[in-house]
Amino acid sequence: MTQTKQKQIINAIDGLSNQLELIRSLVNDTLLQNKEWLNSKEFALLANVKPKSVSNNVGKGKYKKTMRDTHGKHLIHISELKRHPL
């Protein structure tokens, strides 16, 4: 592979990475503005971890402000993101 091709690939990857970060930022802003309680997937997205890690931490009692929704799924208060950055 030529050096020019390598640079093009690296630039393309950097561009995608920047776009992904922008999307993540927009999603985070939207969730933070409109929600007080987050499900495991939303919490994981904001904390940049896997949803299973969040569920495990809820089960271990690492978050103080949790509850269950009408379907029995865990909800974590948004303030837990600030208290326990993962």
pLDDT at 63: 92
Q: What is the pLDDT of residue 37?
A: 92
pLDDT of residue 12: 92
pLDDT of 26 reads 82
> What pLDDT is recorded for position 25?
79
Q: How many domains does the chain have?
A: 2
Domain identity same for 20 and 44: no
Contact between 62 and 81 (Cβ < 8 Å): no
Instruction: Give the pLDDT band (50/70/90) at residue 81.
Output: confident
One domain for residues 21 and 45: no
Verify that 28 and 54 share a domain, yes or no. no
The verdict on 30 and 46 lying in the same domain is no
**Stated pTM of the model:** 0.61
Give φ, ψ of 66 to 5 degrees: -135, 160
Say yes or no: 43 and 13 in one domain: no
Residue numbers of the domain that contains 68 = 36-86
User: Are residue 28 and residue 40 in the same domain, yes or no?
Assistant: no
- Summarised one tens digit per residue, pLDDT across range 1-49 is 899 999 999 999 999 998 988 887 787 677 666 788 999 998 998 888 8
* 78 in the same domain as 42: yes
Beta strands in 1-86 (DSSP E): 37-39, 66-68, 74-77
42 and 30 share a domain? no
Q: Within 10 A of 69 (CB to CB), how many other CB atoms are there?
A: 10
